Amino acid sequence: MDQPKYTTLMEALQDVPDPRQARGKRYAWPFLLALVASAIASGQRTGRALAHWVTLHTAELLEQLRPPRHHLPGESTVRRVLRAIDLQTLEEGLSRYTESLAAQAADAGAIRTPTGEVLQGQAVDGRDVWPHQPATGASGRCTNRKAVAWALDD
């Protein structure tokens, strides 16, 4: 059996290229993506809501993510991150990560259709189940851009 490429979300986010220029980087790109992904998964849909969620959960985020400066970004930084995200690369990385999760829990969340096909699903944003793919490992690229699109609408 193949080893999963990623074992944590942070590892998956390491492969998403940082579009920012070298000057003025206060936060690591994977750290910012983790904040955005966490807030979106928690139901936040605008730049302001994402930043507010980060503020409300400061203690937990600092404890779990352990940023080097022990400080979290403000709303303007969150909005800049949302504008700079390369959606296609982010989706590909997250799809590979969720596929590795599916491989680790082969039968969890699996259903068998009347035709005998086994489907595996994973809820990422609390509402939608994606990628919706056969448990046999057929590659299904994530095409759900709704969560990030909501955040970009602000």
Question: What confidence score (pLDDT) does residue 116 get?
Answer: 83
Q: Is the pLDDT of residue 70 over 50?
A: yes
The arithmetic mean of pLDDT across residues 84-97, rounded, is 80
Top-confidence range, 19-33, 87-101, 114-128: 19-33
Q: What's the whole-number average pLDDT of the chain?
A: 74
At how many degrees (to 10) do helices 47-56 and 75-84 cross? Answer: 130
Q: Is 31 inside any structural domain? A: yes
Q: Is 89 inside any structural domain? A: yes
Q: Is 101 inside any structural domain? A: yes
Question: What confidence score (pLDDT) does residue 128 get?
Answer: 44
Which residue would you say has higher pLDDT here, 130 or 52? 52
Q: Is 117 inside any structural domain? A: no
Residue 120's SS3 state is strand
Q: Is the pLDDT of residue 144 over 60?
A: no
Domain residues for the domain of 93 are 1-106+141-154
At how many degrees (to 10) do helices 58-65 and 47-56 cross? Answer: 80
Q: Is 120 inside any structural domain? A: no
Q: Kindly report the pTM of this predicted structure.
A: 0.65
Question: What confidence score (pLDDT) does residue 72 get?
Answer: 93
Question: What confidence score (pLDDT) does residue 60 get?
Answer: 92
Q: Is 21 inside any structural domain? A: yes
Confidence of residue 139 (pLDDT cuts 50, 70, 90): very low
Q: Is 32 inside any structural domain? A: yes
Q: Is 81 inside any structural domain? A: yes
Nearest alpha carbon to residue 9 among 87, 83, 97:
97
Confidence of residue 54 (pLDDT cuts 50, 70, 90): very high
Number of domains in the chain: 1
Measured between alpha carbons, how far is 87 from 91 in angstroms, rounded to an integer?
Answer: 6
